[in-house]
Structure 1
Amino acid sequence: MSITTTTHLNFRGDARAALEFYRSVFGGEIALVTHQQVYGTTDPAEAGLIAWGQVLADDGFHVMAFDVPASQTYDAGDKPVYVSVRGTGGDEITGYWTGLADGATIIQDLGPSGWTPLYGMLKDRFGVTWVLDVAA
């Protein structure tokens, strides 16, 4: 028996763009299902929103996302979640960092730290905070 945990991010209208961006950074396959397909939403402002979406890569990267409809409350908060990406090599982590850094706010520059050869933290263009490091 085994389990897997997957980060599931909630957005207000940005789930599609966020998942497309994460696919451009991490690779893998993207799956998108709209509110119209799942809930039968006919309001043009919400029919194309994402009811369920994911990016799944062969190397194990997996993230899911959802657009919270206007009828439900949504508050992204200041630091609701950190997504941690840990790799075994510096080149791998640096590549992911470079992709995520486009349009991001750098919280901690990518570099050596006291506990790992490479560590960095940023808030991406969608407001999601990512922690990237190399396994020590």
Structure 2
Amino acid sequence: MRGDDLGRLLGLAFKNERVQQYVQGLGLARVEDDGDLDELWYEYPDAGVVFVLARETGMVQTVFLDAPGPRSPLGFRGELPRGLFFSMRRAEIRRHLGAPHFKQTRGRMRFDAWEQDAYVLNVHYRPDDSIAFVALLPLDD
């Protein structure tokens, strides 16, 4: 599945056939459930993919695609959305996608966001401006 197509999994039940076809090839999932959040996290560290589900409905709320790092040593090896590459830096991403619709800096956490046709694309950066991870979120209604 192409990176842009992953945004079409948002809002689907995790048990949906399309979602299950995708996750079958990701390896073993580690389920994070601290009981306090309204979310369940299905982490696939060997594939660099995380699905965040609404606890009550089981719907996919967010998809994270990790660069190689602590959560996923190898990182996501598929095609990132919108022609991005983990080797790109913040300035290059902004030239490629245009000015972000939203940006935020909070301590060491920095990200830019762009509204796409079917989802919001968030790019989170490391201190050296390389990509830490990409997050796909639903558009607000």
TM superposition score category, shorter chain reference = under 0.3
> Greater Rg, structure 1 or structure 2?
1
TM-score, length of structure 2 as denominator length: 0.27
